Amino acid sequence: MSGNTVARLHPTTLAPGRAARELGLKRSEFDLGVHLGRIRTTPDEGGGGRRVARAEIDRLRAEPGFPETLRRRVQAVGTGEGAAVLEVPPTRFTRLARVGLVVPVKFYLNRYRAVVWLYLAEELRQFATDRTNAFLLTGRTPEVLRSQLAAGVDLRPRNWRGRHLGFLLRQTDDPWQRAGVLAAFLGPPHVAEIVDDPYERSHLNRFRPVPPAYGAPGSPAAQLIEKIMTAQDRDEIDWLSSDLANTLAEARAGQPAPRPLPKPARQGPSPRHGRPDAPDTRDRSYAYGGSDGSVASDEPSPSTRGLFGWLCRRNG
């Protein structure tokens, strides 16, 4: 077997789809594993996104209980299943999530454009077995939490943003990429306030990550996703803005944003010829067309030779 054939059968890195199959995971489970740092990826040298090293596949496959243990570590559940893990009613589970005691790991929009939050089952099992959380799972909800819920507190979007921001920043390789990630969580007015140079904003937009869920541009679904992606609270906006300003300064120092080359200065008309493409009228053989279509020479015509001669005799 030739070396090229071996390389094709056992590449040193794998595309995400093939890596998921070799790990016995659904693609959504694989993506979540990458998101959580359970599956390490490397940049594609050809610029085609992230890839998984063969050594990483071998490491995961060698873990005890593979593949069941890996699947349990990347299992995401909704409110109903999450409530069953905690052994509480779904309403109590939702209250715990709204006040930030359990943090969503991802979301999607259902057919009715309602947000469906998903939680990491492994974290819920840890929450349930922690004895310090027992009073939250049974009996009356503490007064401080009830007052927050009565005020309409819902920390699920913010907590998800913080988690997703951390994931995206771990995937970056330089300051411009980090700045693009930070800008993705701020509204356009806040970004424009920090990045007032249009060329820098254009360069920054190249590194903005795509949203985790999709909707047709301008659609209600897209607007809802944008709202979830964008910081809402003043303190969250302030620290994101501060991080963006600091990261942008680092990016500028390392490699300024590209700008169009200045246009070369236009040369003025030649004083001798009138314009660059004008013929040299000193060439006595040059002919031009008259208004009647005739061709005339710049030699004196017979009708003007007498006048020239008269002027010469007078001056002499």
User: Are the C-beta atoms of residues 94 and 80 closer than 8 Å to each other?
Assistant: no
Q: How far apart are CA 51 and CA 108, in angstroms?
A: 25
pLDDT tens, 104-128?
999 999 988 899 999 999 999 999 9
Q: How far apart are CA 64 and CA 302, in angstroms?
A: 113
Helix orientation angle between 79-86 and 121-129, rounded to the nearest 10 degrees: 30
Intra-chain end-to-end CA distance of the chain, in Å: 106
Bridge partners (DSSP) of residue 50 are: 43
Task: Determine the pLDDT at residue 247.
Answer: 97
Q: How far apart are CA 60 and CA 43, in angstroms?
A: 19
Closest by Cα among 21, 16, 22, 8 to 40: 16
Task: Determine the pLDDT at residue 11.
Answer: 73
Residue entry with tokens 């007064």: 143
Task: Determine the pLDDT at residue 179.
Answer: 97
Q: How far apart are CA 133 and CA 92, in angstroms?
A: 13
Q: What is the 3-class SS of the chain, one letter each residue?
A: CCHHHHHHHCCCEECHHHHHHHCCCCHHHHHHHHHHCCCCCEECCCCCCEEEEHHHHHHHHCCCCCCHHHHHHCCEECHHHHHHHHCCCHHHHHHHHHCCCCCEEEEEECCCCCEEEEEEHHHHHHHHHCHHHHHHHCCCCCHHHHHHHHCCCCCHHHHHHHHHHHHHHHCCCCHHHHHHHHHCCCCHHHHHHHCCCHHHHHHHHCCCCCCCCCCCCCCHHHHHHHHHHCCCCHHHHHHHHHHHHHHHHHHHHHCCCCCCCCCCCCCCCCCCCCCCCCCCCCCCCCEEECCCCCEEECCCCHHHHHHHHHHHHHHC
Residue entry with tokens 């589970």: 93
Q: How far apart are CA 237 and CA 126, in angstroms?
A: 31
Sites in the chain below the pLDDT cut of 70:
1-10, 46-47, 265, 267-316
Task: Determine the pLDDT at residue 298.
Answer: 46
Q: How far apart are CA 136 and CA 92, in angstroms?
A: 9
pTM: 0.77
> In the sheet where 50-53 sits, what is the strand order?
13-14, 50-53, 42-43
**Phi, psi values for residue 141, rounded to 5°:** -65, 135
pLDDT tens, 284-302?
433 334 434 444 444 444 4
